[in-house]
Amino acid sequence: MSSGRSAGASPVVAVVGATGAVGVELIRCLEKRRFPLSKLRLFASARSAGRTLPFRGEELAVEELREDSFGGVDIALFSAGSGISRRFAPLAVGQGAVVVDNSSAFRGDAAVPLVVPEINPQTIKSHKGIIANPNCSTIISITPLWPVHRTNPIRRLIVATYQAASGAGAAAMEELRESTRAYLEGRSYPPSVLPHPYAFNLFSHNSRVDPQNGYNEEEMKVVHETHKIFGDGGIRIAATCVRVPVLRAHSIAINFECERPITAAEVRDIVGSAPGVQLVDDPERNYFPMPKDASGADPILVGRIRRDLSDPSGRSIAMFVAGDQLLKGAALNAVQIAELL
């Protein structure tokens, strides 16, 4: 590694943003996967300091995040927003830690590896103290596509996302619960976390729309991050990102065009043995990936694999995937990166 102290066999690990939706899942992933740490430290804002969170049968106290918090920390898992990451991640690196950052702060930085362990683990070696975790929509979209791309390069990709409340954090999940309860009881519920009513509704992703190209920031993340992770800027990509009233698993309709003709059976075979992916493709029972099955599950569920009938060349495939936004879309991917460190 090019920066940070050697983590050794039993590193000291810190979770920044420990009380948030992703932070809680980071702690659970470290425990579930028996991550070989010697000590876990939890950091959050001053208002969360003093709370306790369970880890390996103990209650760990949450500390207030300060500029000098990272002495003795080997690996710092950040999930507290891009502003916190920009301020504190360089400080953590300066105090000897390697940072795995879950925000958008460093994803576009050419000097920072953007890593999905099933796709480009080799890029971790080039880190200079910070490694970026990709956007959840990107991870869930492209992890099943990578083995196809290696076999028959993907030249065009169109995705439409059905994104869960968890992508906007714990407060958005609570707003979905409460607004649904209010709707069923006939009460009004003005939204405060998201810009539109959430119960029994869906709306375009609430990130800023570029007035020049008409795409929002979430959609452009899919474009730029796929190019960087695949190491192929020539793939033509368009995305439509939508928030749907689901708590924690994103679903995505994917249409891709390969360099050469490819069959649905070939894609099924490739995806069926791919790491991090589980085939859920049962036309007889009309059973395909669903957020209810993906929620709480590590693998990305892949199905509805079929030829795109609009492409007479036989090079295009349509499919549908679902993945837990808090796990593979965020916490699990970050912990997998830490395992590679």
Structure tokens at 241: 């990102």
Mean pLDDT to the nearest integer, 179-197: 96
Is there a catalytic annotation at residue 136? yes
Instruction: Give the pLDDT score at 341.
Output: 92
pLDDT tens per residue across span 231-266: 999 999 999 999 999 999 999 999 999 999 999 999
pLDDT tens per residue across span 79-137: 999 999 999 999 999 999 999 999 999 999 999 999 999 999 999 999 999 999 999 99
Mean pLDDT to the nearest integer, 43-71: 95
pLDDT tens per residue across span 163-186: 999 999 889 999 999 999 999 999
> Structural domains in the chain?
12-105 (3.40.50.720), 140-325 (3.30.360.10)
- Catalytic residue, from 29, 127, 136, 205: name it: 136
Confidence check: pLDDT of 5 > 50:
no
Contact between 200 and 193 under an 8 Å Cβ cutoff? The reply is: no
The amino acid present at 58, given as its one-letter code, is E
Share of the chain above pLDDT 90, in %: 96
pLDDT tens per residue across span 308-329: 999 999 999 999 999 999 999 9
Beta-bridge partners for 130: 99
Whole-angstrom Cα Rg for the chain: 20
Backbone angles phi, psi at 258, to 5 degrees: -95, 170
Mean pLDDT to the nearest integer, 63-67: 96
Listed residue (266, 265, 268, 264) closest to 278, CA to CA: 268
Contact between 226 and 237 under an 8 Å Cβ cutoff? The reply is: yes
Q: How far is CA 181 from its chain centroid? A: 28
Listed residue (46, 18, 273, 25) closest to 136, CA to CA: 25
Instruction: Give the pLDDT score at 3.
Output: 44
Share of the chain above pLDDT 70, in %: 98
- Catalytic residue, from 127, 149, 205, 250: name it: 250
Q: In which band, very low, low, confident or very high, does the pLDDT at 9 lie, cut at 50, 70 and 90?
A: confident
Instruction: Give the pLDDT score at 291.
Output: 97
Structure tokens at 221: 């993340």
User: pTM of the entire structure?
Assistant: 0.93
The amino acid present at 21, given as its one-letter code, is A
User: How far is Cα 99 from Cα 111, in angstroms, rounded to an integer?
Assistant: 14
The mean of the pLDDT values for the chain is 95
**Left if phi > 0, otherwise alpha if psi is -120 to 50, otherwise beta: which for 11?**
beta
Instruction: Give the pLDDT score at 8.
Output: 57
Confidence check: pLDDT of 144 > 60:
yes
Instruction: Give the pLDDT score at 311.
Output: 97
